[in-house]
Structure 1
Amino acid sequence: MRTTLDLPDPLYRHLKLQAAKEGKTLKELVARLLEEALSRQAPRGLRPLPLVPAKERRILPLRDADLWELLEDGSSRP
């Protein structure tokens, strides 16, 4: 797919230099950098909850999804 990007001149020069150092085209370098940045993003959805030692637990055992729902919507239902 083709697209047009307006990049600041210093960024463009930096990218061109990096592409030349790697023996890649600008297109190849930008595609790789974008893929890497997107893969580093935290996945959306449920995240694992921290473990709490049994002796410190003061809540009923609930599924992660139930706990995240409570945290996100502020509900007080168990």
Structure 2
Amino acid sequence: MDIPDPVYRQLKAKAALRGCSVRELILSGVKAELKGAVSKKPGKKFKLPLIESKHPGRLNLTNKMINELILP
């Protein structure tokens, strides 16, 4: 199998991060592809807003209020 050098370097780095060999990483990818585990389907669509409000558009937050909520 002929793998271009830049791709092989990425593959080798990914294998090192996972703590496995390049061979093991390639085999796991091939097995997943043969099993059909790799999905090419588009993600599930959803409608916004996810949480309905009784009073939409009525929340008036200042930067100070947001910072107090985010920062301890």
TM-score interval, normalised by the smaller of the two chains:
0.3 to 0.5
Normalised TM-score (structure 1): 0.44
